[in-house]
Amino acid sequence: MCFRRSSVWIGVAKMVPARQKSVARTPNSVVQRKSKIKSYRQSYQSMTAASRLCLTRALTSLWLNTSRTAPKSDNILDKVDPRQLASLMKTEWQLSYVTPLYQFRYTQLKSYSRQLSAFMAAEKEQVEDGATQNFKVSFSVVHGLVETDYDAETILIQIYSKSFFAGQNEHQKPVWKGWLACVNGNRDYINSLPKEFISLPLFGSSGTEALTALVKSWFQKNFDCCFGSLEINHISLQWLVALWTNYHAESNIKQLQMIWTLPVQPLLQVSYAVNPVDAWELWCSVKGDQPELVDLSAGSLSSVSTALGSAKCRGQIKISNSKCMTTTLTLLTECALLKMPI
Amino acid sequence: MEAMQYLSESPDSINSSSNDQPVSNRNLNRSQRIAEKEKRKNEAEDPFVAAVKYFSDVEAGTPVMGNDVFEGNLVVVEKVAYAEGLPPDAISVMLEFAMSLRMGTSLCPRVLKCLIPATVVPQDAVVRAVAWLGVSKIPISTQVLFIKWVLTVFDMIDAKDQLRAIYGFIFSFVTEENLCPFICHLLYLLTTKQNVRVFRIRKLLDLQDRLGKQPFLLHLLSLYKVFCPELVTLSVPSRMKRGFRNHNSPWKSALAFVQKKNSAAIAPSAGVTLTIKDQSNRRKRKHCHLELPVLTCALNKESQAELSSNRKLVPLAHLRSFAELLENMHRIELPAQMGSLLSTSVALHYLDCVQEESALLRLNFWLGYTLREEFLFCRDGGATQNSDEALQFLNRLLCAHQFLQEGFSSSEGFLYKFLTVWDGCLMRPQILGLLSNIPVVPSYKMGQLLLEPLKQLYFTSSPFFKCGLLECLNGMLRNWLTWHSVYALEDNMDISISSHTSIYMTLSGLKDSVSQLVQFVDHLAVVGLQLESCHSLLLNFILDFYETVCDMFLKYGLPLVVLPSPGVFYPALLATDPVSVDRLAYIMHRYKVNLAFAKSQLKITEAFRISRQTFSDFNHYVVDMVNFLWNAKAFQSGVNVQLDEGILQRSKVPECSTSFDLVYHPAFMSYAIDFHHKCWPERKELDLSSIKHVKPWSWYVEYLFSQGYDGLELFKRTNINRWQPVKGDKEDSGTMQL
């Protein structure tokens, strides 16, 4: 498909986040979003006389980030163990949101590793009728992948296959990886939870669906939480484009690629590849004056990719550069918290 | 002869007598007994009764071959069995007949196959039949068939205590290789904690060594492990793929057919039993949010070790009855997944006492997640595609709400979101039911969250939806008022200074919310009546609502009186059906009583002040009502309805002012004519005006009251002082003075 350069500009212009109408210029500046519902708090003192099943009502009206702060400049490599960071990068993760975990203890990770291995062995036995595949699970904390004191530390789960033929010393590649994270989670929301709960709203997994299902089911049974799929809607995708383009000055984004889906029969996908310099220039111009916006009619952005990372509307994300790790996870944490039932 | 007696009863009474209430039989009153005797006489010749009698009396060793009497009787029984099912006593007789092998082994399967219970299966019969298993030489295939039958009708066995008592006896059949899978299933259904013994576990493990890891053994062992984890060391997979094999026996379809037919006769089993999920029945679904989690013990033992070390905790999953729940109330361990509490009534009882905030929060997280995933986020149709499951789920939730008499906050939050996208059709009864359970909404939030979306739905839908919504809002109001009255009482505080009611809310806050709701419904009612041209069904639902509103002060202790607007009052007053007018009269009567009470309280404390405007509005309504119905002076007071003379003339109603009294009112005209005929049977010509003379008038009014118009009578008693109706003379209405 061939597009004149101008049409690319149209596309990019549309891509500029719609949110700026209400507020923001860029992710760099502070974004104000008005909460729709005023916080309505119930006094916990009145609990005895209160309608008890509604204790949690206070939480229902809590809204999420009222401000989105600029990414801090401190280098993530200083905070996080590079090996652990490497295991989070360059993998395409399938995202889910998770309701807060009940009685999850960071001190019990070893025991969780054991329990999950046993659980998987038992479940697999059912599926494969006693096949000899065995799993070794490791839970670990990715220290430092947080932004505030309220954020719970990221948990990395890796599952290795214990094949009988593999040598003991051989370096093993995990057959499944997953993590639970909370970066820059809304402070009010996290504080409103009783202390038995830990909020790690963002879950990424990479591996077979069957294993993912097993891990989810184990978490559900042990920590009474629920997993739901987390799509990245097209506004969030636009934000990601903005975020990543903004890094161009520091590290080359190489090429900005965007795919729009147009609601026509048969479904039409329009793919744009934008020269990084053009994208950068456009981005700079957006930060300054308002360019003349032209709508790319009813299409919706379904996928974006740059050298820094890629994202798809179905909830897949890949981060290839540690620089934008925190900002990307912050945005995704916010998306996940928006999905919370209470 | 006991059998005969049962047979003559209707299925309903069989049901009640089989419940442990033999007393109820004795309490039958005389007339019933006589009727029954009659019935019995008629049924004595009933071939079915005769057939059952044959099987209960037939001698052992009677030949089968060429026995036409036998064949005929069996056909009769089979016919009844497949058409409407067998009553409990017939089941007993036939089961006894079959298992005792009185006429040989060949008949047994045929008889077993037709044992389709109409209502319940008597436990004694099953116990006796199990006993026969040990005594007589029943072929293995028939034994299997019998156990399969027990499994199929298990839920219909009227009690299980005796069956549990012979647990050990039943267990002994486990060694019979062919019977083992079915016996295991039966044991699974019967097992209680007391039954789990080391020797039984050993036996099962022996069997497992011999037969391999059979799912039926694993299932039974896993249940044992649930009860006594310290005794069963075997690692049991936490979730088993296949349950007990689904016994596709010949009874299933026949039973379903019979049950469908008799569905009215079978009382829903409201007993406190644990539901055992048939895992194999579960349909594969891509999104299976709607499944309730299984009630399991907390898996995270280590983390709770410190808790349970102090006292021995009892997992909720082990409790099977309300009595057990009460016994262990102080040391119950919550399940791993709080959502599972919705699955059984024992658990719901417990939920009512759960004080832990985090436990309720867990439940709300799960419930909110489930509702939103299924009805809001689902891309591929969601609820509309799996409507059966969605319906079941919502019904269960609704049951829980009704059981607990309050709603969960997450379902409230969900409803606010759902209302904005709801078409008003999908699962309407369930959604409206859930809606009426939401707790008091602060008035500043009410408009946006609740009233706006409801308004849009209301004005764009059929009169029947309008009625449904009004009923729902009536329920909501009643719930709010009930909460208020309960908490006001519980706090034992002077209502005027009561600082919190159902949620943290001042009394004035509650009054704001309630009056906003009432005004909203009033608005809906006024416009609805215009849109549907005074639909009488709609009018009745509106009057239902006002029956709640008019009694808020006296019945619920909320010092608030809100009157209906003229747009509701006059359509009801001028309605063409007498019931509506009567109900309006009743409502006005209750308003009067409430206002009088408020006035009397006013002398004690200022807190009960009702606005002067309310009194004056009420007085105008009463004056108008008396003028319309008693004084034949409609449209003359001109206070509330100021109608131009020209408009009245254009309505082409002759003598507008006099045509709405109790004689000429379209709602009562037929009574007036009837009364006229009764009063002056000799008169050829109808002269309704003659009713208006003093004597006939008072008779006529009495006549109306005698027809069941109590509302009018009460209205008259509280509002009309003088009872001297002279034609043209003015009836005095008892207006209220401030």
Taken in order A312, A313, A319, A321, the sign of the CA dihedral is: positive
User: Who's near B168: CB < 8 A, 6+ residues apart?
Assistant: none
Residues B641-668: tens digit of each pLDDT: 667 777 778 877 777 778 888 999 999 9
Cβ atoms B314, B327 nearer than 8 A: no
A-chain CB neighbours of B443 within 8 Å are: none
Residues A282-321: tens digit of each pLDDT: 777 766 554 444 445 567 888 999 989 999 999 999 999 8
- The answer to whether residue B135 sits within a structural domain is yes
Q: Which residue from A14, A17, A3 is spatially nearest to A294, judged by alpha carbons?
A: A14
Output the pLDDT for position A8.
Answer: 36
Percent of the residues in chain A that have a pLDDT greater than 70, as a whole number: 69
Cβ atoms B572, B583 nearer than 8 A: yes
The set of long-range contacts for A291-299, using a CB threshold of 8 Å and a minimum separation of 24, is A291/A13, A291/A16, A292/A13, A293/A13, A293/A14, A293/A16, A294/A10, A294/A13, A294/A14, A295/A14, A296/A10, A296/A11, A296/A14, A296/A260, A297/A262, A298/A262, A298/A263, A299/A260, A299/A261, A299/A262, A299/A263, A299/A270
Output the pLDDT for position B65.
Answer: 79
Cα gap B433→B436, rounded to integer Å: 5
Q: Which residue from B369, B468, B443 is spatially nearest to B413, judged by alpha carbons?
A: B369
Q: Is A53 on the interface with B (CB under 8 A)?
A: yes
Q: Please judge whether B406 and A221 are an interchain contact, meaning their C-beta atoms are less than 8 angstroms apart.
A: no
Residues B302-331 have a mean pLDDT of: 71
Domain edge (last residue) among B560, B583, B617: B560
Instruction: Let me know if B257 is exposed, middle or buried by CB neighbors in 10 A (0-12, 13-18, 19+).
Output: middle
CA–centroid distance for B420 within its chain? 28
Percent of the residues in chain A that have a pLDDT greater than 90, as a whole number: 36
Residue A18: pLDDT above 60? no
Residues A178-210: tens digit of each pLDDT: 999 999 999 999 998 999 999 999 999 999 998
- What is the band of A54 on the pLDDT scale with cuts at 50, 70, 90? very low
Q: Token pair for residue B244? A: 């007990």
Q: Which residues are registered as beta bridge partners of A157?
A: A139, A178
Residue B266: pLDDT above 80? no
Cβ atoms B681, B675 nearer than 8 A: no
Cα gap A1→A259, rounded to integer Å: 12
Asked if residue B90 and residue B5 are part of one domain, the reply reads yes
Output the pLDDT for position B381.
Answer: 52
Q: Which residue from B687, B628, B638 is spatially nearest to B658, judged by alpha carbons?
A: B628
- The answer to whether residue B505 sits within a structural domain is yes
Domain edge (last residue) among B560, B585, B615: B560
Residue A129: pLDDT above 80? no
Across B587-647, where does the E strand assignment appear? Answer: none
Question: DSSP characters for B307-370?
Answer: HHHHS--EEGGG--SHHHHHHTGGGEEPPSSGGGGGG-HHHHHHHTT---HHHHHHHHHHHHHH
Q: Is A226 on the interface with B (CB under 8 A)?
A: yes
Q: Please judge whether A52 and B360 are an interchain contact, meaning their C-beta atoms are less than 8 angstroms apart.
A: yes
Domain edge (last residue) among B264, B293, B314: B264
Complex-level ipTM:
0.80
- What is the band of B100 on the pLDDT scale with cuts at 50, 70, 90? confident
Of A277-291, B34-48, B149-163, the range with the lowest mean pLDDT is B34-48
Residues A317-328: tens digit of each pLDDT: 999 988 889 999
Which of B334, B337, B493 would best serve as a mutation to test chain A binding (most A beta carbons within 10 A)? B337
Q: ∠ at Cα A117 (A111, A118), nearest 5°?
A: 90
Residue B674: in which H helix or E strand, if any? helix B669-679
- Per DSSP, the three-state class of B591 is helix
Output the pLDDT for position B548.
Answer: 96
- What is the band of B263 on the pLDDT scale with cuts at 50, 70, 90? low
Q: Please judge whether A50 and B503 are an interchain contact, meaning their C-beta atoms are less than 8 angstroms apart.
A: yes
Cα gap B470→B541, rounded to integer Å: 6
Asked if residue B721 and residue B620 are part of one domain, the reply reads yes
Q: Please judge whether A60 and B410 are an interchain contact, meaning their C-beta atoms are less than 8 angstroms apart.
A: yes
Residue B583: pLDDT above 90? yes
Percent of the residues in chain B that have a pLDDT greater than 90, as a whole number: 27
- Per DSSP, the three-state class of B720 is strand
Residue A5: in which H helix or E strand, if any? helix A5-15
User: How far does A92 lie from chain B, in Å, by closest CA?
Assistant: 23
Q: Which 10-49 residues of chain A touch chain B by CB within 8 A?
A: 37-38, 40, 42-43, 46-47, 49
Asked if residue B598 and residue B546 are part of one domain, the reply reads no
The set of long-range contacts for B515-521, using a CB threshold of 8 Å and a minimum separation of 24, is B515/B560, B515/B562, B516/B443, B516/B446, B516/B447, B516/B451, B517/B446, B517/B473, B517/B476, B517/B477, B517/B480, B518/B477, B518/B549, B518/B562, B519/B562, B520/B446, B520/B451, B520/B455, B520/B473, B521/B470, B521/B473, B521/B474, B521/B477, B521/B545
Residue A92: in which H helix or E strand, if any? strand A92-98
- Please report where in the chains the tokens 């194999």 appear, as a residue: B280
Q: Please judge whether A225 and B235 are an interchain contact, meaning their C-beta atoms are less than 8 angstroms apart.
A: no
Percent of the residues in chain B that have a pLDDT greater than 70, as a whole number: 78
Residues B678-734: tens digit of each pLDDT: 989 988 888 888 888 888 899 999 999 999 999 999 999 988 865 444 344 445 565
Helices (H) and strands (E) in chain B, counts: 36, 2
For B287, name the nearest residue in chain A, comparing CA atoms only.
A228
* Strand A197-198 to A101-102 pairing: antiparallel
For residue B260, the tally of other CB atoms under 10 A from its CB is 8
- The answer to whether residue B198 sits within a structural domain is no
Q: Which residues are registered as beta bridge partners of A32?
A: A67
Asked if residue B581 and residue B723 are part of one domain, the reply reads yes
For B340, name the nearest residue in chain A, comparing CA atoms only.
A224
Asked if residue B428 and residue B352 are part of one domain, the reply reads yes
Residue A14's alpha-carbon distances to A279, A292, A335, B73, B524, in angstroms, are 13, 10, 21, 84, 43
Which of A37, A47, A51 would best serve as a mutation to test chain B binding (most B beta carbons within 10 A)? A51
Cβ atoms B272, B321 nearer than 8 A: yes
Q: Is A118 on the interface with B (CB under 8 A)?
A: yes
Q: Which residues are registered as beta bridge partners of A270?
A: A260
Cα gap A319→B672, rounded to integer Å: 87
Q: ∠ at Cα B175 (B171, B180), nearest 5°?
A: 75
Q: Is A50 on the interface with B (CB under 8 A)?
A: yes
Residue B529: pLDDT above 70? yes
Helix, strand, coil shares of chain A as percentages rounded to 5?
35, 20, 40
Q: Which 317-346 residues of chain B touch chain A by CB within 8 A?
A: 336-339
Q: ∠ at Cα B64 (B63, B65), nearest 5°?
A: 100
Asked if residue B571 and residue B533 are part of one domain, the reply reads no
- What is the band of A14 on the pLDDT scale with cuts at 50, 70, 90? very low
Cα gap B724→B694, rounded to integer Å: 8
Asked if residue B499 and residue B426 are part of one domain, the reply reads no
Q: Is B502 on the interface with A (CB under 8 A)?
A: yes
- The answer to whether residue B524 sits within a structural domain is yes
CA–centroid distance for A52 within its chain? 34
- What is the band of A271 on the pLDDT scale with cuts at 50, 70, 90? confident
Cβ atoms A205, A217 nearer than 8 A: no
Give B481 or B19, the one with higher predicted confidence. Answer: B481
Cβ atoms B657, B637 nearer than 8 A: no
Cβ atoms B300, A222 nearer than 8 A: yes
Q: Please judge whether B504 and A55 are an interchain contact, meaning their C-beta atoms are less than 8 angstroms apart.
A: no
Residues B580-592 have a mean pLDDT of: 96
Q: How many beta-carbon pairs under 8 angstroms link A with B?
A: 150
Cα gap A14→A18, rounded to integer Å: 8
Output the pLDDT for position B530.
Answer: 94
For residue A182, the tally of other CB atoms under 10 A from its CB is 29
Q: Please judge whether A118 and B235 are an interchain contact, meaning their C-beta atoms are less than 8 angstroms apart.
A: yes
Asked if residue B604 and residue B476 are part of one domain, the reply reads no
Q: Is B377 on the interface with A (CB under 8 A)?
A: yes
B-chain CB neighbours of A102 within 8 Å are: 358, 362
- The answer to whether residue B269 sits within a structural domain is no
Residue B5: pLDDT above 70? no
Give A153 or B2, the one with higher predicted confidence. Answer: A153
Residues B386-406 have a mean pLDDT of: 86
- What is the band of B568 on the pLDDT scale with cuts at 50, 70, 90? very high
Looking at the partner chain, which of A40, A55, A130 has a beta carbon nearest the beta carbon of B357?
A55
Give A94 or B409, the one with higher predicted confidence. Answer: A94
Residue B460: pLDDT above 80? yes
For residue A111, the tally of other CB atoms under 10 A from its CB is 15
- The answer to whether residue B590 sits within a structural domain is yes
- The answer to whether residue B445 sits within a structural domain is no
B-chain CB neighbours of A42 within 8 Å are: 503-504
* Strand A202-206 to A135-142 pairing: unpaired
B-chain CB neighbours of A111 within 8 Å are: 302
Cα gap B681→A1, rounded to integer Å: 97
Output the pLDDT for position B118.
Answer: 84
Instruction: Let me know if B486 is exposed, middle or buried by CB neighbors in 10 A (0-12, 13-18, 19+).
Output: middle
Domain that residue B328 falls in:
285-438
Looking at the partner chain, which of B303, B367, B504 has a beta carbon nearest the beta carbon of A42?
B504
User: Domain total for chain B?
Assistant: 4
Asked if residue B707 and residue B571 are part of one domain, the reply reads yes
- Per DSSP, the three-state class of B677 is helix
Cβ atoms B151, B119 nearer than 8 A: no
Give A239 or B309, the one with higher predicted confidence. Answer: A239
Of B34-38, B473-477, B534-538, the range with the lowest mean pLDDT is B34-38
Residue A168's alpha-carbon distances to A123, A134, A176, B117, in angstroms, are 25, 14, 19, 64
Q: Is B684 on the interface with A (CB under 8 A)?
A: no
Arithmetic mean of pLDDT over chain B: 79
Cβ atoms B582, B707 nearer than 8 A: no
- As a whole number of Å, the CA-based R_g of chain B is 34
Please, how many CA atoms are within 13 Å of residue B7, restricted to the half-sphere of its CB?
26
Cβ atoms A58, A192 nearer than 8 A: yes
Q: Please judge whether A99 and B365 are an interchain contact, meaning their C-beta atoms are less than 8 angstroms apart.
A: yes
B-chain CB neighbours of A49 within 8 Å are: 487, 490-491, 500-501
Cβ atoms A216, A229 nearer than 8 A: no
- As a whole number of Å, the CA-based R_g of chain A is 22
CA diameter of chain A: 69
Asked if residue B654 and residue B555 are part of one domain, the reply reads no
- Please report where in the chains the tokens 């809100």 appear, as a residue: B562
- The answer to whether residue B340 sits within a structural domain is yes
DSSP classification of residue A89 = S
Cα gap B142→B633, rounded to integer Å: 86
Helix, strand, coil shares of chain B as percentages rounded to 5?
65, 0, 35
Asked if residue B544 and residue B568 are part of one domain, the reply reads no
Residue A105: pLDDT above 60? yes
Asked if residue B540 and residue B572 are part of one domain, the reply reads no
DSSP classification of residue B451 = I
Cα gap A29→A31, rounded to integer Å: 6
Q: Token pair for residue A172? A: 């093993």
Cβ atoms A339, A97 nearer than 8 A: yes
